[in-house]
Structure 1
Amino acid sequence: MTALRVDLQSTLGEFSLQITEQLNIDTVLGVLGNNGAGKTTLLRLLAGLDQTEQGVIEFGGSPWLDTSRGIFVPPHKRRIGMVFQDARLFPHLTVMGNLDFAADRAAGQLLPHKEVIKTLGLEKLLARSPEGLSGGERQRVALARALMSAPQLLLMDEPLSAADMGYRIELLPYLRQVIDRFKIPTLYVAHTLDELTQLADQLLVLRGGRCAALGLVNEVLAQLDLPEVAGRKEASSIITARVTSHDLDYQLTSLRFGGQSLSLSGLVAKPNEDVRIRVFATDVAIALTKPQGISIRNVLPAVVTAIRVDVASPFADVLVAVDGQSLRVRMTRASLDEMNLRESQHVFALLKTASLASD
C-alpha cells in the first residue's frame, strides 16, 4: 500500500479546491464527483501540470510539492503515467512509434515492451496509424504509452467517457488486466459508478472541491445520506463471494459468502475464485417472513441496520446486514410504513438471480 498525502488549496475563478487527506492506495482509488467537483483539478495538481498557491503533495514519503519550502518537482520527474479522456496520440507516428516515443523519454527502469503490448492486445496494431484505430484501440494504445516508463503512479481521467457502450465493454477487461498484472497504484476519475465498482477498491467522493466521503467502495456505497451514490441508477451495494460450482444446464453460478449461498445468472469465474457482485438497490426486496413458493432463488436472512426516508420522493432506502456485508434496498415509503420496519429488525432480503451480474 502506497501513501499519497495531499494538503491542497487551489483557487481558479469562483472555484476552489480544498482537500487534506492521507490516501493509502492499495490498487485503485476511484475518484467520483459531479461535473465541477474538482476531479480533474486534483489530477492535474498531482501530475504537476498545474500549480497551486498553497499546498503539499507527498508520494511514498517523497515530497513532490511543498509551497512553504519552495519545493516543486516537475512532471517529468514524478514518474507519473496519465491517460486522458481523449487518447492524445501523435498522428504522424505509428502505434509502435507512439510507444517508442514514450519509452525514449522515460527515465529509470522501463516495463518490458512485449509484456505491455501483450497485456493490452496490441500485437496486430503496431504498424497502424492512430487515425485507422477505433476509439477503444486508441485508448488501449494511450494506456500502453503511459505504462512504458513503469510509472510510480497512474492517473486516469475518465478514460471511458468518450467511448460508446461497445468500446466500454471492450476496454474494461483490459483495464482489469493492467491493474492485476502491473499493480501500479492508480487514481481513476469518473463521474458515474459504472467503472469504479468494477475496478476500484477505495472511493474518494469530491463535492464542490471538498472531500465528501473516503473509504472502501462498499463502505461508501452504504452511506445512505451521500447523494453521489444515491441516484436511481447508482444506488447499489457490493457483495464479495466465492464461486462454489457451475450448473451448465441452467447456466447458473453458485456462490457462497459467510454462511449464505447465492445464485448468479451466467457462468462466472472458476470454482474457489472470489468475485465481486454489484447489487442495485431497486433489485432487492424485503420480506418479514421467509417466503415460500416464489421464483426468487436468493432469500437471505438479514438485519436492518439503517433507514433513510426521502420525504421529497416516494422512496426510502434501507440498509441491511447479511453475514457481515451490507445491502442497500430501495422501497416506497408506503411499503416501509406498512411493514413498520425498524433498525435491528430481522428480515429476509430477496435478490432476483436474473438481476445479478458479476463485476
Structure 2
Amino acid sequence: MILDVDIRHRQGGFALDACFQSDGRLTALFGPSGSGKTTIVNAVSGLVRPDHGRIAVQGRVLVDTKNDIVVPKHKRRIGYVFQEGRLFPHLDVRYNLLFGRWFTPRGERKASFDHVVDLLGIAHLLDRRPSTLSGGEKQRVAIGRALLADPHLLLMDEPLASLDEARKAEIYPYIERLRDEGGVPIVLVSHSVAEIARLATSVVVLSEGQVIASGPAAEVLRHTGFFAQSGLTEAGALIEARVSRHDEAYDLTVLQARAGTLSVPSLLHPVGTSLRVCLRARDIILSLKAPEGMSALNVLPGLISSIDIGEGASVDVQLDCGGDPVVARVTRKSVEELGLRPGVAVHAIIKSIAFDPEALGVTGGENM
C-alpha cells in the first residue's frame, strides 16, 4: 500500500476525520476549499501533527499516536511542491535543483540529475534565474528540486492553481511523464475535476472534513453526485483509447476505444498513442434508436447497467459500451418517457466539440 491514512484532527472550528488507502501512482485529493485536503498533506509531510491516528507511506509508519510514533518531518523523505514554486531567487535553476540533494545522505542518493532534467524538459533553463521563468517553468523546477531529494512520496498542493490555461497545458504532459516514468508516487491536491480526470489514477473525495468516496479514478469520477458541490459539470466516465488515424481533410483525429471509434478535434499525438478520455456526463444524449440525419459524429451503442436516482431533476444513467463504462446525465422525465431501465439497449451520442484537446491526457497504460 502506497498511502494509508486514518487520522482525526481538530483545528479551531474545523474537524478532520479522514480514513483512506491508495495504491495509485497519482492519488488526487479532491474537494472544495475547507474540505481538509491541505490538512491531510500537511499531516503526511509533518507540517501538522494529527491529534489521533496513523499514517504510513509505502509500509513505513510515519505517525501512530496510539504507539507514540511521530517521525520528524526532516526524516520522512517526503517531497512537497506548493502552489508557488518557492525557488531561491539568488540561485540559478541548476543550483535550485541541486539544493534538493542536500536533504539526502550521499549514500542514499538514487535520482539522476540528468534524468530528472530530461523528464521535466528543463535542460535549457539551467543557467537562468527564477525571475526570468514563466509560472509553468518555475513549477517544473520546483518539482525537479523535490525529486532530487529522493522522496518516497511527492506531495503537490494545487501546483497548477496559480497558472493560466496556457501554462497549465504546458505543464500537464510533464506531470503525466512524472506519473508514468518518475518512479515516485504522487499525491495531488486539486479542486478541478478536469485536472484529476486527466492526471489521477486514484481519487479521494472530501467534504467538510470527511472522506465521501475513494478508489480508482475511473470508478469514482463516473458518480457525478460526489462532485455536486464544485465539479458536477466536468464529472463523467474515463475510458482508454488509442490514436487510430488523423483525418487531415476535416482536421480531426480518430480514436479507437473498446466502446467504438471517437472523432475529436485534431491532436498532435502520433498514431498508436494511448490516451485517457473523459466523456462528461452532461455532454451525452441517449437515443433508443441509432440516430439518422444528425451532425454528431460519435455514437456509441451500449446497454444500461444501472440508473442512479438522486435528488433533483437529473438522473445518472450508467452504460456498458463494449466493456467501457459511460455515464449520461439526463432528466427524470427523459427516463420515464423513454422507458429507460437496466438492460435496455441505447445509443450514447457525443458531439466532437465536447472534447477539449487539452483535457485528453496521455497514459502510460495504467489501470485508471
Q: Write the mapping of 1:221-300 to structure 2, written as runs, cut at 5 A.
A: 221-228=221-228, 231-258=231-258, 260-267=260-267, 269-300=269-300
1:218 is matched with: 218
Q: TM-score, normalised by structure 2?
A: 0.90
Q: Distance in 1 between matches of 2:169 and 2:188?
A: 17
Q: Secondary structure at the match of 2:86?
A: coil
> CA offset at residue 224 of structure 1?
4.3
> CA offset at residue 231 of structure 1?
4.1
1:127 is matched with: 127
> CA offset at residue 126 of structure 1?
2.0
Contact 1:224-1:308 within 8 A present in 2 as well: no
> CA offset at residue 147 of structure 1?
0.8
Q: Secondary structure at the match of 1:263?
A: strand
Q: Secondary structure at the match of 2:302?
A: strand
The one-letter amino acid of 2:261's match is: S
Segments of 5+ residues of structure 1 without an aligned counterpart are: none
> CA offset at residue 242 of structure 1?
2.8
Q: Secondary structure at the match of 1:270?
A: coil
Q: Distance in 1 between matches of 2:188 and 2:259?
A: 34
Contact 2:22-2:215 within 8 A present in 1 as well: no
Report whether the alignment pairs 1:60 with 2:63.
no
1:343 is matched with: 342
Q: Deviations over 1:254-310 (max 9, x none)?
A: 333336333333135333432211112222111111122322222221112233456
The one-letter amino acid of 2:45's match is: A
The one-letter amino acid of 2:226's match is: L
Q: CA RMSD in A?
A: 2.1
1:150 is matched with: 150
Q: Deviations over 1:121-146 (max 9, x none)?
A: 22232222222222112111111111
Taking a change above 3 Å as real, the CA distance of residues 227 and 178 of structure 1, as seen in their structure-2 partners, is closer
2:365 is matched with: none
Contact 2:5-2:20 within 8 A present in 1 as well: yes
Identity among equivalent pairs (%): 37
2:329 is matched with: 330
Q: Distance in 1 between matches of 2:230 and 2:164?
A: 24
Report whether the alignment pairs 1:43 with 2:21.
no
Higher mean C-alpha displacement, 254-263 vs 298-307 = 254-263
Taking a change above 3 Å as real, the CA distance of residues 100 and 180 of structure 1, as seen in their structure-2 partners, is same
> CA offset at residue 199 of structure 1?
1.0
Q: Distance in 2 between matches of 1:11 and 1:205?
A: 19
Contact 1:229-1:235 within 8 A present in 2 as well: no
Segments of 5+ residues of structure 2 without an aligned counterpart are: 362-368
> CA offset at residue 49 of structure 1?
1.3
Q: TM-score, normalised by structure 1?
A: 0.92
Higher mean C-alpha displacement, 157-166 vs 49-58 = 49-58
Report whether the alignment pairs 1:12 with 2:11.
yes
